[in-house]
Amino acid sequence: MGFIRLTACENGKMRLSRLLMILLCFFLLFPALVSQLQTVNAGSYYYRDHGTFMADFKSLASAYPSLISYETVGKTVDGNDILMFMIGNPAGGRVLFDGAIHGEETLGSELLLDYAKWLLTSNDPLASQILSRTCTLLIPGVNVDNFNYIRVNAHHVDLNRNFATNWQNAGSTDPTSWYYCGSSPLSEPESQTLLKVFKTYKPDFYVNLHSFGGAYYLGSTYGNATYYNMLVDKINSMSQSRAVSPYPFYWTGGAGFAITDAARLGITSFLLETTSSTTIPLAGIPTTILPKFIPIAAVLSQESESSGGTQFRDGFESGNFSAWTGTYVTPGETATVVGTLPYQGNYSAKFTSNGTGGFEAAYSYESVPTSLKLYAGGYFYVSQSGIADNDDHFYFIKFSSGTNGVAYAGWRRTGGVDRWDLVVRDAHGWAIVDSNSSLSLNKWYRLELYWVEGATNGHGELYVNGALACSIRDENTTAFGGIDQVRFGLPEIYSSGPTTVYADFCRILGAPPWDPNQDGKVSLQDVSIVTMKYGSNIGSPNWNPLADINADGRVDLIDVLMVEIRFGEQYA
């Protein structure tokens, strides 16, 4: 055997050579290392890898086979299974929770496992009630390929910027960005899987879990504000009764968010940021996060079991009118749910008039608690209009007080041109105003009707595709009292020939969005909410969804103006 002997000089040269090589490698690899550090720093060594985590979840199904099962609901980019667990009563109301839509945010996944254990093992009367009456659906890992690693999926797409609603304003179009929204809406198999679950299982409620971004939860502006506020009151009350501090609640338009696509399918949806801390150990989740989460899960479960959410949630995706109070048609007219021309989802409502009577009607209606202000809307498509002469008209939305109409939104021919028409009952009869813009057949329009009762400041407003088309202001609108019914479709048709209207995603909302703190008046506080967040968007550190008045994912001059022009108005 030979020996190699190095002199001190040679030894120094080799050390220098190694040092230079290390430095060269460092400079070559530094950008990639920084990039990786920046992406994985939100991931946590506190939590388990996907295999270990799922093994624990599956063990619950083995231990309680009569109460919990699971199935594969989709595949990831890399072909891994996306699993959904079903706990409780299969015939009960359905509440869906998911975790790790952002791969590094697995605290939410671990929370869902602890929630499942609480349901199955705690003997808490509340848990027993949920088990017996609710079907709890859990998808604990959406981003399986990068679970507990990095934010994006295997295509480097931020999955919570990849959904269809307002996708063009979601995240970034830069494929290297950690907020990359994908090449097209729903381009990723993981987001497609969630959409399929929304449509197949039709949960009453959906909660999308995140972590490390704060401690609050968001409601979708595509849902019903009145109903959300009622739910929040119940959650706050239960939190207090269980001696925990409730999460603060805010609103979001959620460009490209999972909850916005769910909300547009009629599912009352929330995004929950569980905590701002990055140092909560695995063993600490049951004592620090779970107690704050249980009131949210429990209230939604109780609402679901009693079908409390159906009053405001059905966009005709049930395939019928079962979620509405009822329908009404005059002889010769029809009201049906069809799959031929939906605006979103698989179904829309179709209302037809044969045009043979002076007055005709075909509509679905919802009875609501008597309200002195109401904000409602929907999408409407006219494939056939029977309007032929001046003053021929029909309406898409009608607000009623008892048997009396108090506000209408529709089409009317004036001066030989068909225009948007707003009608409000005042102290003397009817106040009528038409838009300056003309109309088109075979086109979807988003209509919103707003009405306020008042002796001197009563008014009505009609919005078309988010822009004010008609307004009637400073009227006495107290003649018939508050609104107790909303009608969608063709609630009134006068002197028109055969007419066909499609309606979809009809919503009964609450206070208008330009009152962001929802206190019934537009004040300096509302202006401050918007102006302090001017220039921010959903990805900004200082983002506040309350400031995004028009729900387009950014706070800009339009949001400021929507508040400023109504400054001083009272809505309560």
pLDDT in tens, 335-362: 999 998 887 667 899 999 998 877 899 9
Of 3.30.1150.10, 2.60.40.4130, 3.60.15.10, 3.90.1150.10, the CATH number of 513-572 is 2.60.40.4130
Q: Rounded to whole angstroms, how far apart are CA atoms 351 and 19?
A: 79
Give Dmax (Cα) for the chain. Answer: 115
- Residue that wins the pLDDT comparison between 460 and 44: 460
Band (pLDDT 50/70/90 cuts) for residue 446 is: confident
Q: In this structure, is the dihedral angle defined by the CA atoms of residues 511, 317, 347 and 319, taken in order, positive or negative?
A: negative
Task: Report residue 203 CA to chain centroid gap.
Answer: 13
Enter the tokens of residue 486: 């909303």
Which residue has tokens 């209302």? 351
Domain 55-311, CATH class in plain words: alpha beta
Neighbours of 321 (CB within 10 A): 17
Q: Are 203 and 212 a contacting pair, CB within 8 Å?
A: no
Residue 483's identity, in one-letter code, is I
pLDDT in tens, 173-219: 999 999 999 999 999 999 999 999 998 888 889 999 999 989 999 99
Band (pLDDT 50/70/90 cuts) for residue 36 is: very low
Q: Rounded to whole angstroms, how far apart are CA atoms 430 and 412?
A: 15
Burial (CB < 10 A; 0-12, 13-18, 19+), residue 523, is middle
Per-residue pLDDT at 491 exceeds 50 = yes
Per-residue pLDDT at 97 exceeds 50 = yes
Per-residue pLDDT at 382 exceeds 90 = yes
The helix/strand/coil state of 452 is: strand
What percent of the chain has a predicted confidence (pLDDT) above 90? 56
Q: Rounded to whole angstroms, how far apart are CA atoms 104 and 425?
A: 56
Is-same-fold flag (326-509; 513-572)?
no
- Cα radius of gyration rounded to whole Å, the chain: 28
Q: Whole-model pTM?
A: 0.54
Band (pLDDT 50/70/90 cuts) for residue 314 is: low
* pLDDT average, residue stretch 47-67: 95
- Residue that wins the pLDDT comparison between 431 and 7: 431
Residue 44 has a pLDDT of 60
Residue 43 has a pLDDT of 52
Q: Rounded to whole angstroms, how far apart are CA atoms 444 and 342?
A: 10
Residue 296 has a pLDDT of 98
> Checking phi first, is residue 533 left (phi over 0); if not, alpha (psi -120 to 50) or beta?
alpha
Q: Rounded to whole angstroms, how far apart are CA atoms 473 and 571?
A: 13
Mean pLDDT of the chain: 85
Q: Are 105 and 116 a contacting pair, CB within 8 Å?
A: no
Per-state percent for the chain, helix, strand, coil, to nearest 5:
30, 30, 40
Per-residue pLDDT at 461 exceeds 50 = yes
pLDDT in tens, 433-444: 999 877 899 998
pLDDT in tens, 538-549: 666 666 767 777
Neighbours of 526 (CB within 10 A): 24
Enter the tokens of residue 452: 């306020």
CA-nearest of 305, 312, 280 to 293 is 280
Q: Return the top range by mean pLDDT from 40-49, 113-122, 507-516, 539-548.
A: 113-122
What are 75-78's contacts with CB under 8 Å, separation 24+?
Answer: 75/189, 75/193, 76/143, 76/144, 76/145, 76/153, 76/154, 76/189, 76/190, 77/145, 77/153, 77/154, 77/155, 77/188, 77/189, 77/190, 78/144, 78/145, 78/154
DSSP 39-99: HHTTS-TTS--HHHHHHHHHHHHHH-TTTEEEEEEEE-TTSPEEEEEEEE-TTSEEEEEE-
Q: Rounded to whole angstroms, how far apart are CA atoms 517 and 524?
A: 11
What length is written for the chain?
572
The helix/strand/coil state of 366 is: strand
Band (pLDDT 50/70/90 cuts) for residue 222 is: confident
Per-residue pLDDT at 451 exceeds 60 = yes
- Residue that wins the pLDDT comparison between 467 and 545: 467
The strand pairing partners of 68, in sequence order, are 87
Residue 428 has a pLDDT of 85
Burial (CB < 10 A; 0-12, 13-18, 19+), residue 388, is exposed
Per-residue pLDDT at 327 exceeds 70 = yes
Band (pLDDT 50/70/90 cuts) for residue 559 is: confident
Residue 35 has a pLDDT of 37
Which residue has tokens 């179009």? 173
Q: How far is CA 565 from CA 180, 460, 527, in A?
A: 35, 15, 10
Residue 530 has a pLDDT of 87
Q: Rounded to whole angstroms, how far apart are CA atoms 293 and 295?
A: 6
Which residue ranges make up each domain of the chain?
A: 55-311, 326-509, 513-572
Per-residue pLDDT at 225 exceeds 90 = no
Per-residue pLDDT at 10 exceeds 90 = no
Residue 519 has a pLDDT of 65
Per-residue pLDDT at 29 exceeds 50 = no
Per-residue pLDDT at 120 exceeds 80 = yes
CATH 2.60.120.200 fits 326-509, yes or no: yes
* pLDDT average, residue stretch 88-93: 82
Enter the tokens of residue 550: 């028009």
What percent of the chain has a predicted confidence (pLDDT) above 70? 85
Q: Return the beta strands (E) in 76-159 as ranges.
A: 81-88, 93-98, 134-139
Q: Supply φ then ψ for residue 399, to 5 degrees.
A: -100, 130
Band (pLDDT 50/70/90 cuts) for residue 30 is: very low
Band (pLDDT 50/70/90 cuts) for residue 550 is: low
